[in-house]
Amino acid sequence: MTNDPRLSLFFKPRGVALVGVSQDPSRLGYGLARKMIQSGYKGSVHLVNPKGGSLLNHPVYTDIASVPDPVDLAVLLVPAALTASALEACGKRGIHAVIISSGGFRETGPEGAAYEAECLRVAGQYQIRVIGPNCIGVIDTHLPLDTCFAQLPVSFPGDIALVSHSGAICAALLDWSFGQGFGFSRLVSLGNQADVSETDIFAAIADDPDTRVVTMYLEAISNGRRFVEQGSRVAQEKPVVVYKVGRSVSGQRAAASHTGALACPEYAFQAALRRSGIIQAETMEQMYDWARALASCPLPKGRSVAVLTNAGGPGVIAADHVEINGLHLAKFGDQTMAALKALLPAAASIQNPVDMLASATPEHYVACLRILLEDPGVNSVLVIIPPLPMFPHASVATAVIPVILTSEKPVVVAVLGERLIGEAVERLRIEHIPEYRCPERAVSALAALSQRAETLEKLNAKPVAKKDVHPEKVRSILRDVTPDITGLLPPRAVGEILAAYGISTLSIELATNANEAVKLAHKLGFPVALKIASPEITHKSDVGGVTLDLKDDEAVVTGFKDIVQNVQKALPASQISGVYVQRMAPKGQEVILGAVQDSIFGALVMFGAGGTEVEGLGDTAFALAPLTLEDAEYLLKTTWAGRKLKGFRNLPPADREAVLDALTRLAQLAADFPQLNEIEINPFEVLSEGRGAIGVDYRARWA
């Protein structure tokens, strides 16, 4: 899968040159040399410092040109001002993979940024791929290879890879993994990402046969669409779990539509992960809780969970979090119930969660676990081991391990306690059985397994491509139309653009005086609505700029005058072009459809509750355009506006299919025309089943 063969040199070099080593044990250059030599790396290790000599029984070469073959990778730990010249020496030596571990670059200000830019120029000249600068290096625990200068113990070989924007986080997680009982396969600290980014390294990490799960700590995405493309390819083969920081809405930009105002970077990132099949964790702990389960467990065939415990309290906690995580407690079959009843005391609970009572023995755990796994209605099992009055935790863990290892269904274990559980935890970890300190974390891991199973089914879905759309008409409209001072297109042009992509709207006409408004009302048909026309007013109803259901000439004349007076009073400096006239829409369920161009991920589509309370209700969801049918269904299923289209209490079912059709068409339009920076239909009136839907108010802004 690796696109650039030079990237593999970071993980499988025949020889490594360490540039900037030091004789002083307190300097990073000494630590780098010691770590590399002690890592057990079987290739050649070459040390470089202008002073020459020897270090740790290795010769020190005075320059890179003197380094003998083979050498595929260089690690530079020299001052920022000298790094570009060292990089050039690497290029002349024929080295095409370089890690710049030094700091003092872009992160320090303009002077450092200039040093980094010069390094990038040199790298391009000599076709060198660069990780860093300002990073702690790369580790492959299986080769083994350790270019990390941080004085941490070498991680034991594992099957989870880590890509991190932060060197400190990378080092901390490396140390933390020892206490958590799992090992990494590869670690990559990316630093400033002057060249190699999280997207570039994706494939090289996924190609590693020793890596079963890829984890990523991200602070930003450098190329959104390419990240999605690479992520989709990797996720088809291996699970990817991401923990992203910098998720607040404080960075959202001002926008002329609800869609633009609500489309903060986090929405875009979540939509991108959904499309690529990557799982998003809320915390670092959660990321590795999930990664351990994904690396070790078979995937479930559904979301039904059985809980096995010997105490009521932990079972109740588990039951709560099964529901919180979108799973459900399995309903046992008659055969399962009969088998449990025959095995357990009369006071035991044979409902789910199964409470065997405090008298449960290791043999009870084994027998009940077998019974639950044989039930076709059970997709996964959580075994909870609280302190047992008569048996140590380890006896139960030892007993259930053979059952778990031979199961085709995932089983995770919650071992409750701390001081008394060490032996039980150790035995489970030796067998790579995921264990957690509380039921909540264990259930969350089961949910991640279900999400992964469902993701695999959807990864190959293709975006919907409508044939009866007319992009040439849109291009013609955009050539002939002039946006206003805010970039908004005239409503009539927007309606024509939407019509070209098969999205129904109510016609809207501009009247510059009351008499024109009356004529247009007769043309469009009574009753009509009037709306103020001003490039400076986004929310018309907030300033009295809308009046509805006008049934005759007199009402139109009065409405026209009232609207203009209201706006002049509320916003005396506003520019008023006139009043829009529109036939009243038939009543339906009001929703909002929108699309916005994200600077990183491209076109996003929004769906949610429409009308005047869009921002207040917060009932919205986003997906990456163009949409697959599953994407469109997701937008409806995850919003109340979408769910109630099926009917609710006195609300009859609405034309859900018309909404799905309009969403896929709007997404196609947004993907085809990125110059339409924002486009929105609000409200989009969804009529009863089979009667379609129609856009009432719509706007678009040209970037």
Say which CATH number the domain at 536 has: 3.30.1490.20
Read off the pLDDT of each residue in 447-463 and give the average, rounded to a whole number.
92
What does the pLDDT read at residue 152? 66
Torsion of CA 277, 278, 281, 284, to 10 degrees: 160
SS3 435: strand
What does the pLDDT read at residue 251? 37
pLDDT digits (tens, 9 = 90+) for 102-126: 999 999 999 999 999 999 999 999 9
What does the pLDDT read at residue 388? 80
What does the pLDDT read at residue 15? 97
Say which CATH number the domain at 640 has: 3.30.470.20
Whether 466 contacts 498, CB under 8 Å:
no
Read off the pLDDT of each residue in 455-470 and give the average, rounded to a whole number.
91
Beta strands, E only, 503-654: 508-511, 528-533, 546-550, 578-583, 589-598, 602-609, 620-624
Which one is predicted more confidently, 553 or 222?
553
pLDDT at residue 637 greater than cutoff 90: yes
> Looking at the structure, do residues 54 and 193 belong to the same domain, yes or no?
yes
Phi, psi for 641 (deg, rounded to 5): -60, -40
> Looking at the structure, do residues 89 and 170 belong to the same domain, yes or no?
yes
Read off the pLDDT of each residue in 668-678 and give the average, rounded to a whole number.
96
Q: Does residue 153 have a cis peptide bond before it, meaning omega lies within 30 degrees of 0?
A: no
Read off the pLDDT of each residue in 456-471 and give the average, rounded to a whole number.
91
Whether 65 contacts 41, CB under 8 Å:
no
Query: Which of 155-164, 200-209, 475-484, 535-544 is predicted with the least confidence, judged by mean pLDDT?
Result: 535-544
User: What are 261's two structure tokens?
Assistant: 């105002």
| 3 state SS for 354-414 | EECCCCCCHHHHHHHHHHHHHCCCCCEEEEEECCCCCCCHHHHHHHHHHHHHCCCCCEEEE
> Looking at the structure, do residues 545 and 622 belong to the same domain, yes or no?
no
pLDDT digits (tens, 9 = 90+) for 26-74: 999 999 999 899 888 999 999 999 999 999 999 999 999 999 999 999 9
Confidence of residue 451 (pLDDT cuts 50, 70, 90): very high
> Looking at the structure, do residues 232 and 312 belong to the same domain, yes or no?
no
Count CB atoms within 10 A of the CB of residue 504. 17
Beta strands, E only, 456-587: 508-511, 528-533, 546-550, 578-583
628 lies in a domain? yes
Torsion of CA 328, 331, 336, 342, to 10 degrees: 100
Share of the chain above pLDDT 70, in %: 95
For residue 395, the number of C-alpha atoms closer than 13 Å in the C-beta half-sphere is 11
> Looking at the structure, do residues 445 and 308 belong to the same domain, yes or no?
yes
Return all residues near 254 (Cβ < 8 A) that are at least 6 apart. Answer: 261
Confidence of residue 155 (pLDDT cuts 50, 70, 90): low
What does the pLDDT read at residue 262? 45
Return all residues near 327 (Cβ < 8 A) that are at least 6 apart. Answer: 303, 304, 305, 443, 446, 447, 450
Count CB atoms within 10 A of the CB of residue 577. 14
What does the pLDDT read at residue 223? 86
Whether 397 contacts 388, CB under 8 Å:
no
For residue 529, the number of C-alpha atoms closer than 13 Å in the C-beta half-sphere is 19
pLDDT digits (tens, 9 = 90+) for 192-203: 999 999 999 988
Count CB atoms within 10 A of the CB of residue 331. 14
> Looking at the structure, do residues 107 and 55 belong to the same domain, yes or no?
yes
Crossing angle (nearest 10°) for helices 334-343 and 362-374? 170
469 lies in a domain? no
DSSP secondary-structure letter at 127?
Answer: T
pLDDT at residue 256 greater than cutoff 50: no
Distance from C-alpha of 106 to C-alpha of 114, rounded to nearest angstrom: 8
pLDDT at residue 291 greater than cutoff 80: yes
Distance from C-alpha of 502 to C-alpha of 668, rounded to nearest angstrom: 11
> Looking at the structure, do residues 181 and 222 belong to the same domain, yes or no?
yes
What does the pLDDT read at residue 154? 62
> Looking at the structure, do residues 619 and 556 belong to the same domain, yes or no?
no
User: In angstroms, how far is the first alpha carbon of the chain from the final one?
Assistant: 36
> Looking at the structure, do residues 106 and 189 belong to the same domain, yes or no?
yes
Confidence of residue 247 (pLDDT cuts 50, 70, 90): low
pLDDT at residue 617 greater than cutoff 90: no
What does the pLDDT read at residue 484? 85
276 lies in a domain? no
552 lies in a domain? yes
290 lies in a domain? no
> Looking at the structure, do residues 238 and 382 belong to the same domain, yes or no?
no
Q: Which domain holds residue 660?
A: 589-702
Residue appearing with tokens 């932990």: 314
SS3 126: coil
Arithmetic mean of pLDDT over the chain: 92
What does the pLDDT read at residue 573? 86
User: What are 57's two structure tokens?
Assistant: 């029984």
* Last residue within a domain, chosen from 229, 245, 261: 245
Whether 163 contacts 217, CB under 8 Å:
yes
Confidence of residue 352 (pLDDT cuts 50, 70, 90): very high
What is 259-296 written as a DSSP string?
Answer: HHHH--HHHHHHHHHHHHTPEEPSSHHHHHHHHHHHHH
Share of the chain above pLDDT 90, in %: 81
pLDDT digits (tens, 9 = 90+) for 324-351: 999 999 999 999 999 999 999 999 999 9
pLDDT digits (tens, 9 = 90+) for 259-283: 444 445 788 899 999 999 999 999 9
Read off the pLDDT of each residue in 410-435 and give the average, rounded to a whole number.
95
Give the count of domains, the chain: 4
User: What are 550's two structure tokens?
Assistant: 């006008």
Distance from C-alpha of 214 to C-alpha of 186, rounded to nearest angstrom: 9
Distance from C-alpha of 682 to C-alpha of 662, rounded to nearest angstrom: 13
> Looking at the structure, do residues 565 and 604 belong to the same domain, yes or no?
no
466 lies in a domain? no
415 lies in a domain? yes
Read off the pLDDT of each residue in 303-313 and give the average, rounded to a whole number.
97
Whether 318 contacts 282, CB under 8 Å:
no
Q: Which of 702, 610, 600, 23 is nearest to 263 (CA)?
A: 600
pLDDT at residue 686 greater than cutoff 50: yes
Which one is predicted more confidently, 153 or 306?
306
User: What are 386's two structure tokens?
Assistant: 């609280």
Distance from C-alpha of 407 to C-alpha of 373, rounded to nearest angstrom: 8
Say which CATH number the domain at 121 has: 3.40.50.720
Read off the pLDDT of each residue in 632-637 and give the average, rounded to a whole number.
96
pLDDT digits (tens, 9 = 90+) for 518-570: 999 999 999 999 999 988 887 788 899 999 999 999 999 999 999 999 999 99
pLDDT at residue 253 greater than cutoff 50: no
Distance from C-alpha of 622 to C-alpha of 268, rounded to nearest angstrom: 7
Which one is predicted more confidently, 637 or 5?
637
pLDDT digits (tens, 9 = 90+) for 598-616: 988 999 999 999 876 666 6
The Cα-based distances of 8 to 33, 205, 506 in angstroms read 22, 9, 57
> Looking at the structure, do residues 523 and 383 belong to the same domain, yes or no?
no
Confidence of residue 181 (pLDDT cuts 50, 70, 90): confident
For residue 555, the number of C-alpha atoms closer than 13 Å in the C-beta half-sphere is 14
267 lies in a domain? no
Say which CATH number the domain at 391 has: 3.40.50.261
* Last residue within a domain, chosen from 583, 617, 632: 583
* Last residue within a domain, chosen from 557, 583, 609: 583
Whether 590 contacts 684, CB under 8 Å:
yes
pLDDT at residue 480 greater than cutoff 70: yes
